[in-house]
């Protein structure tokens, strides 16, 4: 009787949905639209789709194949491919741990905003009053209410990474809830995860469709959509476009974390992962494009709203200065009146010339934001201006939660699967206890991100924790599968599982194109780090209501170096350790044979 | 003498109004500028600004002064208005009821207006932003602060549900394991039954199978 039979997905659909839920994450919503805007709108789709076909799908296919063949987590799988490569698995687990630590903090913020949406007036719609109730708080006046709510009430951010403060209790509670939900989803391993992904994979699409319909019917939405899709082909000549397309595909599919290997290890031996790899990659990219249509209609609405508010302010300024009747100046004839009043009352006009704003719709659309700024500031600002804003707010943050938790499930599974494969732990700890310990450990370390300077540490992890290391890991993966394990053995394994060998296209990609591309990206990142000088970060200045760039202090830079070394260094360290062990073992064997 | 009376009266009135006009002027020391944005506030339902509306304004301001000083001496004639523009903005000053050539200090007018601001706004169906007293900042309404922050309530509900879910899963796993654990020793006992039955018999010597090749050698 096989007491320890490897658990498996109830049906292949669960596996596909788990991969979709993992790959479709927050980056699809907040990074891809930004890149699209930066690199020429519709034209960006060309390098993006090329990179998908050349780099994304082959590497995805390869990771699924390894996981399904070896039926072990990343550490076991790579050790099986070659004993010297166990370090690759360990590096994946370390990188996944870094990601788990900071990624769930975003889920905590989404919870915070979600719970705050259950109020008659959204708290980020208005500024709080100052002490004598004559006006608003100064910090909120110089910034906007949404920025104030994010930086002061949500994060209670300090003015630099050096200044520490206490833990924000609300954030800590939300982080606790986020980890409890992750635990609830993975407590029984694949059995529970498989059921949860039905919801986490499909619900975001429901919300995206609802938002698409709401978005395109908003006033001014089409301005944004038109702006995004107008291709600026000259951007294709810019190498940064291609590099960003490659990195976006790479990180969006979640390669190198070991999550795909972990998920695939629970598959049936003859599961058709080739088709699933193509399907999941297509769904992921399709979702990015879909989400960017939604984002750009929201952008268009927000930009038009700001533009019209600006025009209204100019109109009021003119009316009040020249004491004209209210219906003389309307939105359409502002320009006419500006020139007219300049001509007829030049001195008075000169007096207000400094307060006169130039309202430019293009400039409003040009303000491209990515990351947490987009999700929590720009979107909240757009939502507060919609009718029935509480409903839209709840839907939106719930969608962010589903996306975030779906990705977390993959990352936590990437840590837990290799730990479970390690007999030492699985003998002494039950499944539930091991999962619980991992969650508790990550929660306590994650509390550091809820302190006053926590957001700055979050940015360090976000920018450096999983970028260079992943490129390195996947590069080693591709090279080892193609050359150390050997493409012929790999082909035979695939044939054993699928019934046919991978065709020449896949083989060329694995052996030649992907490694070259990855080496190129890796070199580019290293050169960028070196040439960029001291790494800098954005600091929130509460006096000016703006983000200010500052250089990282020495200890932060040392920490960045530590992050990079601790994951990438596992590969050579383990290889050397195994080499040393083999040499010692080899010498002992020869000794013992000689002695008999 | 009697025929000069109406002439003198007219002169006095003219003088009074001249003085009044001198008292009320733009940038007056104890005066304030008022600006109404009726069309912005009411759109289609906007009313025309005319003398009657101005009269209402002066009356409400007199009411505000009465309320603040708690006297019944202020009258519409104490509120002087000038520099009316098509924007619907004008300056006003308040004269003392005892001595119409003296103005009430601006600070007192400000306090009076702030006290009755809501009543003044309502008389014109306007708000703090559309009926502006330049130089008198509006007292912003304090937001309603409930005893428990509402987010904490929703948080409490969700975290209780999640805790119940986790406990339910853990308990059901534990119960399943206990059931399996009970089933396992029973199986072993069944095996043991066979073992026990065999243990007692270490094997009896069956003479039929003893090798007797020393007897039969062919």
Which residue in chain B has the smallest CA separation from A431? B173
Report CB contact under 8 Å: A118, B154: yes
Residue A202 banded pLDDT, cuts 50, 70, 90: very high
How large is the C-alpha radius of gyration of chain A? 27
Report CB contact under 8 Å: B173, A135: no
pLDDT digits (tens, 9 = 90+) for A106-145: 999 999 999 999 988 889 988 888 777 777 888 888 888 8
Q: What is the pLDDT of residue A296?
A: 87
Helix (H) or strand (E) holding A335: helix A334-344
Higher model confidence: residue B205 or residue A296? A296
Which of A173, A187, A323 lies nearest to residue B86, judging by beta carbons? A323
How large is the C-alpha radius of gyration of chain B? 50
- A56: CB partners within 8 A, 6+ apart: A249, A250, A252, A253, A281, A285
Q: Is A286 on the interface with B (CB under 8 A)?
A: no
Measured in Å, how far apart are chain A's first and last C-alpha atoms?
41
Scored b (16 or more CB within 10 A) or e, B7-38 reads: eeeeeeeeeeeeebeebbeeebebbbbbbbbb
Contact A247, A521 (CB under 8 A): yes
Q: Which two tokens stand for residue A41?
A: 């709108």
Q: Which two tokens stand for residue A15?
A: 């596996």
Q: What are phi and psi of B132, to 5 degrees?
A: -100, 130
Q: What is the pLDDT of residue B173?
A: 87
Q: What is the pLDDT of residue A91?
A: 93
Q: Mutate one of A123, A317, A326, A328 to test the B interface: name it (highest B CB count within 10 A).
A: A326
A206 C-beta neighbours (distance < 10 Å), count = 12
Q: Mutate one of B43, B86, B111 to test the A interface: name it (highest A CB count within 10 A).
A: B86
Report CB contact under 8 Å: B162, A180: yes
Q: What is the mean pLDDT of chain A?
A: 88
Q: What is the pLDDT of residue A110?
A: 94
Contact A26, A489 (CB under 8 A): no
Residue A201 banded pLDDT, cuts 50, 70, 90: very high
pLDDT digits (tens, 9 = 90+) for A305-338: 889 988 988 888 888 888 888 788 888 888 888 8
Q: Which two tokens stand for residue A19?
A: 């991969």
CA dihedral B61, B63, B68, B74 (to 10 degrees): 90
Report CB contact under 8 Å: A134, B173: no
Query: Model-level pTM?
Result: 0.84
pLDDT digits (tens, 9 = 90+) for A414-449: 999 999 888 777 788 888 889 999 999 999 999 999
Q: Is A399 on the interface with B (CB under 8 A)?
A: no
Report CB contact under 8 Å: B89, A115: no
Q: How far is B81 from chain A (nearest CA, A)?
A: 16
A251 C-beta neighbours (distance < 10 Å), count = 18
Contact A369, A377 (CB under 8 A): yes
Q: Give the whole-angstrom CA distance, residue B102 versus residue B88.
A: 26
Residue A393 banded pLDDT, cuts 50, 70, 90: very high
Report CB contact under 8 Å: B87, A184: no
Length of chain B: 218
Q: Is A115 on the interface with B (CB under 8 A)?
A: yes
Scored b (16 or more CB within 10 A) or e, A55-92 reads: bbbbbbbbbbbbbbbbbbbbbbbbbbbeebbbbbbbbb
Report CB contact under 8 Å: A187, B37: no
**DSSP, residue by residue, A47-62:** HHHHHIIIIIHHHHHH
Q: Give the whole-angstrom CA distance, residue A14 versus residue A280.
A: 12
Q: Which two tokens stand for residue A48?
A: 């993006």
Place of tokens 């072990």: A72
How many degrees, rounded to 5, is the angle at CA A165 between CA A172 and CA A459? 70
How many degrees, rounded to 5, is the angle at CA A160 between CA A157 and CA A165? 50
Q: Which residues of B touch A320 (CB under 8 A)?
A: 35, 87, 89
Q: How far is B88 from chain A (nearest CA, A)?
A: 7
Q: Is A317 on the interface with B (CB under 8 A)?
A: no
Q: Which residues of A touch B155 (CB under 8 A)?
A: 111, 115, 173-174, 177
Q: Give the whole-angstrom CA distance, residue A436 versus residue B173.
A: 14
- 3-class secondary structure, A451: strand
Residue A1 banded pLDDT, cuts 50, 70, 90: very low
Please give the average per-residue pLDDT across A146-160, as a whole number: 89
Q: Which residues of A touch B163 (CB under 8 A)?
A: 180
Percent of residues, chain A, with pLDDT higher than 70? 97
Q: Going edge to edge, which strands form the sheet with B131-134?
A: B79-82, B89-94, B32-36, B131-134
Q: Which two tokens stand for residue A441?
A: 């450990």
Q: Give the whole-angstrom CA distance, residue B212 versus residue A579.
A: 64
- 3-class secondary structure, A39: coil
Q: Is A214 on the interface with B (CB under 8 A)?
A: no
Q: Which residues of A touch B154 (CB under 8 A)?
A: 114-115, 118
Report CB contact under 8 Å: B35, A320: yes
Which residue in chain A has the smallest CA separation from B157? A115
Q: Give the whole-angstrom CA distance, residue A307 versus residue A366.
A: 12
pLDDT at A3 over 50: no
Q: What is the pLDDT of residue B1?
A: 54
**DSSP, residue by residue, A143-177:** S-HHHHIIIIIIS---SSTT----B-HHHHHHHHH
Q: Which A positions 167-186 lie with beta carbon below 8 A of chain B? A: 170, 173-174, 176-177, 180-181, 183-184
Contact A104, A178 (CB under 8 A): yes
How many degrees, rounded to 5, is the angle at CA A286 between CA A285 and CA A288? 65
pLDDT digits (tens, 9 = 90+) for A466-503: 888 899 999 999 999 999 999 999 999 999 999 988 88
Give which of A500, A326, A473, A334 is closest to A414, Cα–Cα.
A473
Chain B interface with A: residues with Cβ < 8 Å: 35, 37-40, 85-89, 137-140, 142-143, 150-155, 158-159, 162-163, 165-166, 169-170, 173
Query: Along the 218 residues of chain B, how does pLDDT read in single tens digits?
Result: 556 666 666 566 555 555 545 777 777 778 888 888 888 888 888 888 888 989 999 999 899 888 888 877 888 888 888 888 888 888 888 888 888 888 888 888 888 888 888 898 888 888 888 888 888 877 777 777 777 888 999 999 999 999 999 999 999 988 988 888 887 666 555 555 555 555 445 566 666 665 555 555 55
pLDDT at A104 over 90: yes
Q: Is A486 on the interface with B (CB under 8 A)?
A: no
Which of A111, A187, A326 lies nearest to residue B39, judging by beta carbons? A326
Which residue in chain A has the smallest CA separation from B140? A133
List, in sequence order, every residue forming a beta bridge with A548; answer none if it has no partner.
Answer: A539
Report CB contact under 8 Å: B155, A121: no
Q: Which residues of A touch B170 (CB under 8 A)?
A: 187, 432
Q: Which two tokens stand for residue A299?
A: 């952008």
Which of A115, A192, A316 lies nearest to residue B155, judging by beta carbons? A115
Q: What is the pLDDT of residue B210?
A: 56
Q: Which A positions 326-385 lie with beta carbon below 8 A of chain B? A: 326-328
Q: What is the pLDDT of residue A2?
A: 40
- A126: CB partners within 8 A, 6+ apart: A145, B143
Q: How far is B158 from chain A (nearest CA, A)?
A: 8
pLDDT digits (tens, 9 = 90+) for A364-389: 887 777 778 878 888 898 898 888 99
Give which of A588, A569, A590 is closest to A580, Cα–Cα.
A588
Q: What is the pLDDT of residue A426?
A: 76
Please count the helices (runs of H) and the strands (runs of E) in chain A: 30, 2
Q: How far is B121 from chain A (nearest CA, A)?
A: 17
Q: Which residues of B touch A325 (CB under 8 A)?
A: 86-88
Q: Which residues of A touch B87 (CB under 8 A)?
A: 319-320, 322-326
Helix (H) or strand (E) holding B36: strand B32-36
**DSSP, residue by residue, A272-320:** -HHHHHHHHHHHHHHHHHHHHHHHHHHHHHHHHHHHHHHHHHHHHHHHH
Give which of A286, A276, A292 is closest to A57, Cα–Cα.
A276
Report CB contact under 8 Å: A325, B88: yes
pLDDT at A50 over 70: yes
Q: What is the pLDDT of residue A320?
A: 84
* Strand B131-134 versus strand B32-36 pairing type: antiparallel
Place of tokens 């939900």: A181
- A108: CB partners within 8 A, 6+ apart: A171, A174, A175, A177, A178, A450
Q: Is A313 on the interface with B (CB under 8 A)?
A: no
- Tell which phi-psi region holds residue A323, choosing left (phi > 0), alpha (psi between -120 and 50) or beta: left
Q: Mutate one of A323, A329, A397 to test the B interface: name it (highest B CB count within 10 A).
A: A323
Q: Is A325 on the interface with B (CB under 8 A)?
A: yes
Q: How far is A394 from chain B (nearest CA, A)?
A: 12
Q: Is A323 on the interface with B (CB under 8 A)?
A: yes
pLDDT at A595 over 50: no
Measured CA distances, A390 to A121, A373, A384, B2 (Å): 8, 20, 8, 77
Report CB contact under 8 Å: A128, B143: yes
Q: Which residues of B touch A326 (CB under 8 A)?
A: 37-40, 87-88
């Amino acid at each position: 009787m096989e007491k320890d039979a490897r658990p498996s997905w109830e049906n292949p659909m669960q596996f596909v949905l788990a991969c979709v839920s993992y790959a479709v994450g927050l980056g699809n919503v907040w990074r891809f639209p930004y890149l699209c805007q930066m690199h020429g709108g519709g034209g960006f789709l060309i390098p993006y789709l090329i990179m998908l076909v050349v780099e994304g799908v082959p590497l995805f296919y390869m990771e699924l194949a390894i996981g399904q063949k070896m039926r072990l987590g990343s550490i076991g799988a790579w050790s099986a491919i070659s004993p010297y490569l166990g370090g690759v698995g360990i590096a994946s687990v370390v990188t996944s741990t870094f990601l788990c630590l900071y990624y769930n903090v975003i889920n905590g913020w989404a919870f915070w905003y979600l719970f705050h949406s259950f109020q008659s007036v959204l708290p980020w719609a208005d500024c709080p009053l100052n002490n004598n109730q004559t006006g608003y708080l100064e910090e909120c006046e110089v910034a906007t209410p949404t920025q104030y709510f994010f930086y002061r009430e949500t994060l209670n951010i300090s003015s630099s990474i050096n200044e520490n403060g206490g833990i924000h209790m609300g954030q800590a509670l939300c982080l606790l809830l986020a980890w409890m939900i992750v635990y609830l989803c993975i407590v029984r391993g694949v059995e529970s995860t498989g059921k949860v992904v039905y919801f986490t994979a499909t619900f975001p699409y429901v919300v995206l469709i609802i938002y698409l319909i709401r978005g395109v019917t908003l006033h001014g939405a089409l301005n944004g959509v038109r702006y995004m899709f107008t291709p600026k082909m000259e951007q294709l000549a810019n190498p940064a476009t291609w590099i960003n397309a490659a990195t976006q595909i790479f990180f969006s599919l979640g390669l190198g974390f070991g999550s795909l290997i972990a998920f695939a290890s629970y598959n049936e031996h003859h599961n058709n992962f080739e088709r699933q790899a193509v399907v999941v990659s297509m769904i992921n990219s399709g979702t990015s494009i879909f989400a960017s249509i939604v984002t750009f209609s929201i952008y268009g609405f927000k930009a038009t709203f700001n533009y019209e508010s600006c025009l209204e302010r100019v109109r009021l300024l003119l009316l009040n200065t020249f004491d004209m009747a209210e219906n003389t100046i309307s939105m359409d004839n502002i320009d006419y009146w500006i020139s007219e009043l300049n001509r007829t009352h030049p001195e008075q006009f000169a007096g207000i010339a400094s307060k006169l704003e130039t309202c430019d719709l293009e400039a409003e659309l040009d303000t491209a934001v990515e990351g947490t700024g987009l999700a929590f500031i720009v979107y909240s600002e757009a939502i507060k201006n919609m009718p029935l804003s509480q409903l839209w707010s709840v839907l939106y943050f719930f969608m962010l939660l589903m996306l975030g938790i779906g990705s977390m499930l993959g990352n936590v599974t990437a840590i837990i699967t290799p730990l479970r494969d390690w007999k030492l732990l699985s003998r002494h700890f039950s499944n539930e206890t091991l999962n619980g310990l991992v969650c508790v450990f990550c929660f306590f370390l994650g509390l550091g991100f809820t302190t006053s300077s926590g957001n700055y540490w979050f940015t360090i992890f976000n920018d450096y924790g999983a970028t260079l290391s992943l490129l390195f890991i996947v590069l080693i993966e591709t090279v080892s599968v193609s050359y150390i394990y050997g493409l012929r053995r790999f082909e035979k394994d695939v044939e054993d599982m699928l019934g046919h060998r991978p065709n020449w296209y896949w083989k060329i990609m694995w052996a030649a194109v992907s490694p070259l591309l990855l080496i190129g990206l890796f070199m580019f990142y290293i050169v960028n780090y070196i040439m960029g000088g001291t790494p800098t970060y954005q600091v929130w200045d509460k006096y000016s209501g703006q983000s200010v760039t500052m250089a990282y202090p020495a200890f932060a830079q040392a920490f960045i170096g530590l992050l990079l070394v601790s994951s990438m260094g596992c590969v050579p360290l383990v290889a050397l350790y195994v080499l040393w062990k083999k040499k010692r073992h080899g010498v002992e064997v020869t000794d013992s044979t000689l002695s008999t | 003498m009697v025929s000069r009376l109406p002439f003198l009266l007219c002169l006095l009135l003219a003088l009074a109004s001249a003085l009044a006009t001198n008292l009320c002027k733009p940038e007056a020391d104890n005066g304030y500028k008022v600006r109404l944005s009726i069309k912005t506030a009411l759109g289609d339902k906007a009313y025309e600004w005319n003398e009657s509306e101005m009269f209402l304004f002066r009356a409400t301001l007199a009411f505000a002064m009465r309320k603040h000083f708690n006297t019944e001496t202020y009258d519409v004639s104490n509120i002087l208005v000038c520099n009316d523009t098509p924007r619907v903005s004008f300056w006003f000053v308040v004269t003392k009821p005892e001595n119409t050539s003296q103005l009430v200090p601006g600070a007192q007018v400000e306090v009076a207006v702030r006290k009755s601001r809501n009543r003044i706004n309502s008389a014109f169906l306007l708000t703090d932003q559309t009926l502006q007293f330049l130089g008198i900042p509006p007292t912003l309404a304090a937001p309603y602060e409930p005893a428990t922050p509402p987010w904490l309530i929703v948080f409490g509900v969700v975290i209780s549900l999640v805790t119940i879910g986790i406990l339910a899963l853990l308990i059901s796993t534990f119960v399943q394991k206990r059931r399996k654990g009970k089933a396992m020793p029973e199986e072993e006992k069944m095996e043991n039954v066979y073992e026990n039955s065999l243990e007692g018999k270490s094997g009896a010597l069956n003479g039929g199978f003893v090798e007797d090749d020393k007897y039969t050698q062919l």
